[in-house]
Amino acid sequence: MSKKSLNIFFLSLIVGIAIAIFIIWLRYDPVQDFKASVPGLDNRPKAGSEAVDEVKIGEKFKLYTEYTSNLKGKWTQFRGAESDNISNEKIKLVDKIGPEPKILWEQDLGEGHAAPVVYNGKVYLLDYDEVKKADALRCFSLESGEEIWKRSYKVHVKRNHGMSRTIPAINDKYIVSMGPRCHVMCVNPDSGDFLWGLDLVKDYQSEVPFWYTGQCPIIDNNVAIIAPGGKALLIGVDCATGNVLWETPNPDGWKMSHSSVMPMVLDGKKMWVYAAVGGICGVSAEGDDLGQILWKTKDFSPSVVAPSPLIYDDGKLFMTAGYGAGAALFQVKKTGETYQVETLQKYKPKDGMASEQQTPLLYNGRMFTILPKDAGAMRNQFVCCDPNDCTKILWTSGKTDRFGLGPYLVADGKFFILKDDGELTIARASTERFEILDKVKLLDGHDAWGPMVITDGRLLMRDSKHMLCIDLRAN
């Protein structure tokens, strides 16, 4: 074979191999073994497996140091004492943090999004110890970050976008926490002494939500308000004894969501509003009908519910959820001795106010939130609307200032907005426009989704594995 023929032969061979490889590449399906992703089910324990291991709630305690403080600031529960995410302290805070932030201390945490409460100079957080495989209620000094004590119990929790994601409730006598797998614990906030525990899966057949428990307890007149789902929709537990004082029937079999119970007062009647997986209801918080369902609606019942009901003063409530659910505005009214609930607005996320994870806030007659990623052109923007017409967006933060699933609150006439990557934005709390005062990156981690706290002029914030305290006092 001549040299020319040999070259032609090898060239033809190479071309043939290339064509064969190209055909194989075209036919190859790189996602043939992929399965559809169901929110939260990527690493969640199988249904019914949560109660297999015996959990001894509150079994271990460690005292690190004795501590007293002169600080009197309080942030007593999820969204603060008034459940509105607004700090009413009169301490003047900075407009700009500047190039040298006054970071007071930092603490390493287990992976999650749990946030603290603060009471008289002490910080309390329900953490998950990944090494010891334990829920741990940790108490720190607000001034120094030094750990004071830890009350824990062993429980196996697989990583699923973090583990812990709840906030305790506290008063001068009790602190109540809820762990990722629905273990409720009550201890003395000063000494850390264990008072009682409740396993909602075991005792009420609660079903652990998609991303573990997100519900935050409430303490009302020394009674812990919990929403188990399962055998009882809501329960009231005596903080002194652990005795269940009342239970709300659950005839529709609604399940525990990631949402928290919110207080509502209508025509002088106090009630608890809960957005379960299955629907939204109002439960009597007082009187002869304590614990009974006053009203309910199934008109907004997505399978994943993270935000909590946003309660108005006039009987209206706003409810939103992610994954395309959108939002709804309801009106609750009393006629005679009964209550009715009417749907005023209901829409998809591209058509008005909505949120995937954080609960919106009401301030100076306006509603504020960060729109979800499926909100179209305004996705991830911080927005303002008329709360009586939630489809009418009045202003946005604009295309260049987008946020994520992170928290926001109001203090000293300013918005404090935390981006997923740990960048904090300070903006004037205006109802007219979005006006940035400062922007600074304070955390180096990711998934900074846990709610923030401002008290005694200090801001507590976290990413997935670290908590930071920064001094924001203007003086």
Residue pLDDT tens, the chain, 475 long: 555 554 555 556 555 555 555 444 434 333 333 333 334 444 444 444 444 578 999 999 999 999 999 999 999 999 999 999 999 999 999 999 988 999 999 999 999 999 999 999 999 999 999 999 999 999 999 999 999 999 999 999 887 778 899 999 999 999 999 999 999 999 999 999 999 999 999 999 999 988 899 999 999 999 999 999 999 999 999 999 999 999 999 999 999 999 999 999 999 999 999 999 999 999 999 999 999 999 999 999 999 999 999 999 999 999 999 999 999 999 999 999 999 999 999 999 999 999 999 999 999 999 999 999 999 999 999 999 999 999 999 999 999 999 999 999 999 999 999 999 999 999 999 999 999 999 999 999 899 999 999 999 999 999 999 999 999 999 7
- The residues with which 279 forms a beta bridge, in sequence order, are 276
How many helices (H) and strands (E) the chain has is answered by 2, 35
**Cα separation, 362 vs 417, whole angstroms:** 15
Report yes or no on whether pTM surpasses 0.75. yes
Q: How many Cβ atoms from other residues are within 10 Å of residue 16's Cβ?
A: 10
Q: What is the CA radius of gyration of the chain?
A: 25
DSSP state letter for 75 = E
Strand order in the sheet with 244-247: 218-220, 223-226, 235-238, 244-247
Contacts of 409 (CB under 8 A, 6+ apart): 85, 86, 87, 361, 415, 416, 451, 452, 454
Domains in the chain, CATH or no CATH each: 169-264+281-287 (2.40.10.480)
The strand pair at 408-411 and 86-87 is best described as: parallel
CA quadruple 454, 114, 109, 381: dihedral positive or negative?
negative
